[in-house]
Amino acid sequence: MKYVILMGAPGAGKGTQARLLQEALNLPQVASGDLFRHNLKNQTELGRLAQSYMDKGELVPDDVTIAMIRERLSISDCVNGAILDGFPRTLSQAVALDALLAEFNGRICAVPFIRVETDVLVARLLKRAEIEGRADDNEETIQNRMTVYHRQTAPLIDYYREKGVLVEIDGDQPIEQVQQELLHAIECAAE
């Protein structure tokens, strides 16, 4: 089983690219945000557990998030692997993911990192907020998200670079070009 971890800052186009990759590679997109929303909405045991932390204003612990990922990856559509979008976010989650994938006899074949300059990302997110009517996505909030992202993600970039699976992709080009570069990087890594 092969797994692709799609990395990039908010606004880099991970969701769009993950959906395109899903079609091209015939692998499901597993987005951590979608898993949280599904579990919370359906009041699953994991959803109720996550909600208990959120209600106290606390971060959901890694073991709960990992349990959601484990549950999702055990579904039959993931038998050949998956495209992970939004997970892992921290070094401890990356280490836990390695252990989980070993249980599934899977491996990370590529970690494409869609790189976009911060000022371009902020402009993209402000435009998206305007189009989608997201009043809470103002420049201050977006800048804070970028700071948190860079603080959490920098160790992941180094972690996957040392493993030899990180591939940097220029995300400041047309969607189709980014998709071609992603497909090429994944195909080369899978050989």
Distance, in Å, from the CA atom of 55 to the CA atom of 49, rounded to the nearest integer, reads 10
In sign, the C-alpha dihedral spanning 55, 148, 125, 15 is negative
Residue 29 forms beta bridges with which residues? 83
Residue 37 half-sphere exposure, CB side, CA atoms within 13 Å?
Answer: 5
Judge contact between 64 and 46, C-beta under 8 A: yes
Catalytic residues: 14, 89, 128, 134, 145
Sheet holding 81-85, edge to edge: 29-31, 81-85, 2-8, 107-115, 166-170
